């Protein structure tokens, strides 16, 4: 579900990259979610960044880092 929400959010039109990053993050991140299990969130954010970057590796990594949270995992 997280993956589907992230990709759907990433494929919508946005006025700029920051707005897109915030939308993808909002679609995936659950506030107050325990830090002991971030895999669903990290996978969703990683695929959301990749979808938003339309497959461009550099842009996908930078987008994943800029979304924050467990950024080193997400960008990897």
Q: What are the pLDDT tens digits along the chain (76 aa)?
A: 777 888 898 889 989 988 988 888 888 877 766 665 677 778 888 888 888 888 899 998 988 888 877 777 878 8
The whole-number pLDDT of residue 36 equals 55
Whole-structure pTM value: 0.63
Angstrom distance (rounded) from CA 56 to CA 69:
21
48, exposed or middle or buried, with CB in 10 Å at 0-12, 13-18, 19+?
buried
């Amino acid at each position: 579900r997280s993956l589907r929400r992230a990709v759907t959010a990433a494929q919508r039109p946005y006025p700029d990259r920051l707005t897109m990053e915030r939308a993808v993050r909002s679609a995936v991140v659950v506030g107050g979610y325990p830090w002991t299990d971030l895999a669903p969130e990290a996978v969703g954010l990683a695929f959301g960044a990749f979808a938003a970057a339309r497959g461009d590796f550099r842009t996908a990594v930078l987008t994943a880092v800029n979304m924050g949270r467990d950024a080193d995992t997400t960008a990897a």
